[in-house]
Amino acid sequence: MLGSLRQDNIIYILNKKDVPSLKTGRVVSVSNPVPRYQTNGFSPNMQAFETVVDIMVETDNGEKTEFKKVPSNLAIYGDSGIVISDSREAMFSEVEAMQSNSRKLIESIDYHKQVIDACDGMLSQLNPSIAKEREYDKRIANLEDMMAEANETMNSKLSELTSLVKKLANK
């Protein structure tokens, strides 16, 4: 439990933002547990009894990070793309879950491409002006490709002609 951390305990920090990374650190300090929600008297709500702690961690590279208002009763906690845990097993499970989720997403790419194509067809069917606009865009793209190819051919022929003229001028 994160609330039972003490100075020099090992903690794992998983950054899920951008390119995921895992750091190991040591606890520098842990605050005493305080109620998550400040109450002004009696509150029958059980959330009033939840406690949180602030944890200061120093990673292996000397970087210090403070995690504020961490629920003290959890073994693993994540907020804003950062997950912390004092349990190697809990962090292992978290990384496995993240990897499994990404694999499932990659495996579904072909399906989603088919959905996009099918939706394009349905949208064109529902709104013929979309179909005309897409056809117009295709024609323009084809014309641009043809112009680029013609320009390339013309430059090549011009280069050959220039070279031939230079040869004839040197004779």
DSSP secondary structure, the chain, as one string: -GGG--TT-EEEEEE-SSS-EEEEEEEEEEPPPEESS--SS----GGGG-EEEEEEEEETTS-EEEEEEEETT-SEEEETTEEEES-HHHHHHHHHHHHHHHHHHHHTHHHHHHHHHHHHHHHHHH-HHHHHHHHHHHHHHHHHHHHHHHHHHHHHHHHHHHHHHHHHHH-
**Per-residue confidence band for 81, with pLDDT thresholds at 50, 70 and 90:** very high
Average pLDDT of span 65-91: 94
Which pLDDT tens digit goes with each residue over 107-158?
999 999 999 999 988 998 898 888 888 889 999 999 999 999 999 999 999 9
Residue 150: what pLDDT? 96
CA distance 49 to 107: 44
Which pLDDT tens digit goes with each residue over 38-66?
666 555 555 557 899 999 999 989 999 99
Residue 55: what pLDDT? 96
Domain ranges of the chain: 2-91, 110-156
Average pLDDT of span 68-84: 93
Residue 20 clears pLDDT 60, i.e. is over it: yes
Residue 101: what pLDDT? 95
Residue 47: what pLDDT? 53
Q: Are 35 and 42 in contact (CB under 8 A)?
A: no
Which pLDDT tens digit goes with each residue over 99-117?
999 999 999 999 999 999 9
Residue 40: what pLDDT? 61
Residue 50: what pLDDT? 87
**Per-residue confidence band for 94, with pLDDT thresholds at 50, 70 and 90:** very high
